[in-house]
Structure 1
């Protein structure tokens, strides 16, 4: 479908690519990987025609359409969200207009047996077939599906696009691209501004995408779940691997070991030849043999060794001692407008040594909660109590603003280092955060936003603490740097609360998940992988349920558009029948929800009773009774968690059915 033939690109004296040949076939899903600055984004821009290579050519098959999502998108304005995304379906809209024009023209014909009339009928038929193949009859449903999948609510549809922030602008651009459905989809860091739910939705959508996908991402799990082929860019060299990211890592390590053995054998061979040359250099009888071996050594190709990526290690300074309870949160309420509560009476206890991931949709309140714990955000009511001797360190993207622009990168780290062992390894730590060679002597003032963010993170991590609050710490890190950070956090002896949508990163050290949703929180004592599996299963069940109840409106619309309309009487009968069917499903569903709510009320009431008993001074005097109550309390907490999950699932099903009824007309 697309071929790159002997492509070369240079920046100054540095070759980014040299005589590169690549081919991308039909329906391939290709991951482009490599360290920051190796040319991944440049390669995508060359493929889509934004950049011209210094030499070489790009060959595309006839009728190939290419869509490109850059890392930085322009701010859109002048239309509502729905209008902006809908307008991107150019081909479908053009066909729709042609169909309307022909239908108008046909109405004016008196002679319906004329050749001209019959030609128009044939043209109309061809357009309708093409319109159907492009899923034109489902266009409105598709726009809605994509927007909701990417995290927009129906109330967002009528908002002006300029009202949305940068991260949401990227989602709008992505929605437009998915609706266009090009043959070749180029995605540069598509997950950067997505929350967990949107990321999983996009992943599933792309799995069934009918075209070719070429993507750049630092999200390892995303690449593992999508890519069928991996291309690595490293020091101007392109290497190909016939598998996903995990396969690439495994195969690359095998290749590195082979190269290392070749290098060792070569060095041994060179030493033997040099020993011979040195021994017989001044013997006339061996002069010819000596010269022959000198020339042979000169002709040997150099074997370049790649650094072993597992060699970069970083260990935190020992965590200072704190009390068993790190933070206690009770009935916490937070609102920005005095009406809608982002956090609506949440309770949470964070204990020493826990490593917690805060997850949830963008805008759910994750960053708000982390800022409240860091003492940077006020709240309306409730209690937030810090434990004994807790030393908190907080990182968010804006922490870079606090760096001294006059100091160098290395001086910034030296100023934060209080441990002799850490001081000795500052250069190694900086290397792990992508500051190599002379980079460490750069003044902070000349660094890019991403570089400042990485430096602020590295600086914070070497300062003594026992509670780390990290808000999206991996945003500007490549995969190697993320591994360095993940391994360090795994060994950290203090408490961690982290906001991140990077599943692979979180799964490396997290022991508990706190989901923020609709002003409340739900706790899961499991790994990130187990949590992802739970969510994916819930999504599959809901999707199956929605599919069973989602065909009516589209079927009726398609029937109308293809001129197979029912009579008003027949249509009325059909609508009545459908509403009756849906009502039959809704009635028992409402009953189940009421039963769940009654059970929840009973459990919550008993929970409060036990908590009151446990808070009394006499509670522990009767050991047998206290053990029984603790067991009952633990069981009740499990029941409440289970019932809440059931309530979420059943109410979601109810909302789908109610929407179906409202759409019948």
Structure 2
């Protein structure tokens, strides 16, 4: 479907990629990964024709189309949301317009036996058939499904696009792209403006998409769940991996180990050959052998090792130890106009050391609640209580606007730092993707993403014991995000994170607060635990509604006999799941006992092996519990049917 042949592109003196070739076909889902600045977004722009390559070509098969979602914000104006999305169905709209025109002409032509009238009727029949074939009659239902999936409410459909912020505008762009249904869907950081619920919907939509998908994303869960192949851009080259992100990580580790051995052996070989050349360079009897080895070395392709040091190498500066209670809130309500409340009667208690995620739909009030806790947003009623010796630091992307535009990157950091941190500023900035002379750039010339990274770096080097972070990962690459995650794991203070990045949250938080319907719900566990809990709750509610509906139905003999037939395999499945659970629980207990033995520390390899197996067993237990829960719900539903009438 799509063929990339020998593409090369440079940015100034830097080669982004050279002689890059790959193909995308069928229902393939290709994830493009690599550090910031390796040319991922530029590659998508070259494929779409927005940017011209230095050399090479992009070939698209006949009748295939490309749809592209850029990372940069898109702004729509002058139409309602529904009409704006509807405008993307160009073929349907064109045919509908022609059908309407023909109907008008037919209504005005009273000579039903004329050749013109018959031609119009024939054309109307052709168009009506084609309209049905391209789902013209279901287009409005499809628009509604997509908009609701992306988090819009039905009452939003009639509102003008002008009323919506940048994040919602990007959702409109996604909706238009999905409605167009191109052969190749190309997405550059599509999840940046989605909340967790809309992200899960979008993920499922992309997984089932009929065409090919090429995606750039720093959301590891997202690309892990959709990708069938991974392409890494590094050092000007593209390296393919025939699997998702997890496969890529494991396979890359193996390839790196192999490359290190090859590099070591090659360096040894080069040393030997150079020693021979130097030793016999001036001996006429060895001249031919020397020249032969020189030419051999010139033709030799050197094994290059990727720099694995990029990313944030960072630990937090020491801060005052706060009291046991970090923050409290009682009866807090917030309204922007004094009439309509965003948050109502909120009660929260946060203890020292807790690491909490705020989740919920966009517009539910997560960021508002975070700003109120940080003390930078006023509220209408209620009481806030800051704990003893609490030092709060708050980050959002808007913090970038408060940076002194006249100062350099290094000056901004120097003013915020003290002690040991000040001595390591250059390496810290390198971790935040400011390398070389970038540190001397004035803030005013930085891009929006660079300013956001600088604001985050500045905040993190200032001592604190209570961090409030609103979407901290949006402008970080995967390596930087990983090291930031490790630093936050080791942070001894209290953390609140507003984020839609499930993998990032899973590595840090131990509590989730869902902001919904003007109030909050608290879930113990990480983000995956929360999603599982909400999913099971939704299944139960749906099954409960189904059973309630079925109670109003009379089931005959045949229906009940069929239900009895269905019950047996479900009971068998539950029994098998319970046996597996028992076996895994037994093994889990065994491993925990083995790891608790004092002598295990004398055998680190064995301890590592047991630890890996314990993690695997724990994951299996979690999966089996979800399956057991779902099977139990199905059994309950079937038994309810038997009890009716």
Q: TM-score when scaled to structure 2?
A: 0.79
1:166-245 maps to which residues of 2 (within 5 A)?
166-245=166-245
8 Å CA contact 1:319, 1:493 repeated in 2? no
Deviations 1:504-549 (A, max 9, x none): 1111111110001111100010111222223344566778899x89
Change (3 A) 1:190 1:460: same
State the match for 1:630 in structure 2.
none
Q: What's the offset of the Cα at 1:392?
A: 0.6
Structure 1 residues 75, 291: CA separation in 2 closer, same or farther (over 3 Å shift)?
closer
Distance 1:37 1:444 in 2: 19
Report what 1:378 is aligned to.
378
3-state secondary structure, aligned to 1:218? coil
What is the distance in 1 between the residues matched to 2:448 and 2:292?
56
Partner of 1:258: 258
1:619-658 equivalences under 5 Å are none
Q: Contact (CA 8 Å) 2:523, 2:530: kept in 1 or not? A: yes
Could you say if the C-alpha distance between residues 106 and 583 of structure 1 is closer, same or farther in structure 2, counting changes exceeding 3 Å? farther
Query: Which of 497-506 and 18-27 deviates more?
Result: 18-27
Deviations 1:477-497 (A, max 9, x none): 111111111111011111101
After superposition, the C-alpha distances for 1:257-311 in whole angstroms (9 at most, x for unaligned) are 2111111111112223334445555666655545544444344322211022588
Q: 1:257 to 1:310 in 2, by over 3 A?
A: farther
**Quick check: 1:354–1:495 contact (8 Å CA) kept in 2?**
yes
Q: How large is the RMSD of aligned CA atoms in angstroms? A: 2.8
Per-residue deviation, 1:327: 0.3
Q: Which runs of 5 or more structure 2 residues have no equivalent in the other structure?
A: 554-645
Secondary structure of the equivalent of 1:383? strand
Query: Does 1:353 pair with 2:353?
Result: yes
TM-score (norm 1): 0.77
Q: Match of 1:501, SS?
A: coil
In structure 2, the residue matched to 1:493 is: 492
| Alpha-carbon distance, 1:15 to partner | 3.0
Superposed counterparts of 1:311-350, under 5 Å: 313-350=313-350
Mapped to 2, the partners of 1:109 and 1:68 lie a distance apart of 48
- What SS does the aligned partner of 2:203 have? helix
The 3-state SS of whatever aligns with 1:32 is: strand
In structure 2, the residue corresponding to 1:169 is in which secondary structure? helix
| Residues 280 and 67 of structure 1: CA distance in aligned 2, closer, same or farther (over 3 Å) | closer
- Distance in 2 between the 1:280 and 1:100 partners? 89
2:91 alignment partner, SS class: helix
- For the residue of structure 2 that corresponds to 1:68, the secondary structure is strand
**Deviations along 1:74-127, whole A, 9 cap, x unmatched?**
422221111211222121122233444555666757767x99877766654543
Q: Find the residue that maps to 1:330 and give its secondary structure.
A: strand
1:432 and 1:480 in contact (8 A); partners too: no
Residues 81 and 161, structure 2, Cα contact 8 Å, conserved in 1: yes
Query: Which residue matches 1:17?
Result: 17
* More off after superposition, 363-372 vs 15-24: 15-24
Q: How many residues align?
A: 552
- Aligned partners of 1:241 and 1:323: how far apart in 2? 50
Once the 2 structures are TM-superposed, how far is the Cα of residue 338 of structure 1 from its aligned partner?
Answer: 0.8
Deviations 1:150-185 (A, max 9, x none): 111122111111111111111111111111212221
How far, CA to CA, are the matches of 1:190 and 1:512 in structure 2? 26
Determine helix, strand or coil for the equivalent of 1:38.
coil
CA distance in 1, matches of 2:305, 2:219: 26
How far apart in 2 are the matches of 1:545 and 1:136?
35
Residue matched to 1:595: none
Q: Secondary structure at the match of 1:321?
A: coil
* 1:319–1:492 Cα contact (<8 Å) kept: no
Aligned partners of 1:325 and 1:540: how far apart in 2? 37
1:363-512 correspondence to structure 2 within 5 Å: 363-420=363-420, 422-512=421-511
Which range is displaced more, 403-412 or 330-339?
403-412
Secondary structure of the equivalent of 2:344?
strand
Q: 1:268 and 1:348, CA in 2 relative to 1: closer, same or farther beyond 3 A?
A: same
Q: Deviations over 1:440-479 (max 9, x none)?
A: 2223332222111101111211211111011111111111
1:424/1:180 CA distance change after superposition, 3 Å: same
- Tell whether the 8 Å contact from 2:345 to 2:519 is kept in structure 1 after alignment: yes
* Equivalent in the alignment of 1:629: none
Cα deviation, residue 581, structure 1: 7.8
